[in-house]
Amino acid sequence: MYIFGIDIPIVEVIFAVGIIGIILLLEITIILILITYHMKNSKKLEDKVSRLIVALTSLKKVELKELEKVQKLEEEERGIINRLRRIKILQIKKPAFKKKAAPVKKFTSKQKRKLYETFVTKKKKNKIVDAVDKFLKRWKK
């Protein structure tokens, strides 16, 4: 076949174009296979990240609840310590209505610790606190 006065063999041209076409098709299929593989991996990664986010938020909620419990316990502890301090202050003062006051008993550190533990650890904490309040009211009169 003559193109612009040059003899070109048509069979070889068609054969070369066919080989180039086949190579391009193979490259396209390999690229599509790699893209689908990476999309599957990205979906798995997205699922793992979403699970991690859910786990972190649930941990944060639990941590906040625990912090609230600790704050409540600290407030109760402060109240109990204040009551114990009041008792100690009232024991140091001598009653004004008696001529001879009984000797004031000062607590040792072990006794203070025991008192504190009974206030904090016993289930009868409310009864003890009420008794302390009654004792304080009597001394205030």
The whole-model pTM stands at 0.39
Residues in a beta bridge with 3: 6
pLDDT-derived band at 15 (thresholds 50, 70, 90) equals very high
Average pLDDT over residues 71-97: 71
Give the other-Cβ count within 10 Å of 139's Cβ.
14
Average pLDDT, the chain: 77
pLDDT at 82 over 70: yes
Query: How high is the pLDDT of residue 20?
Result: 96
| Segment 25-65, tens digit of pLDDT | 999 999 999 999 999 999 999 999 999 999 889 889 989 89
pLDDT at 80 over 60: yes
Six token digits for residue 68: 């609230």
Q: Cite the beta strand spans of the chain per DSSP E.
A: 2-3, 6-7
Domain ranges of the chain: 2-140
Instruction: Quote the crossing angle between the two packed helices 10-92 and 125-140, to the nearest 10°.
Output: 40
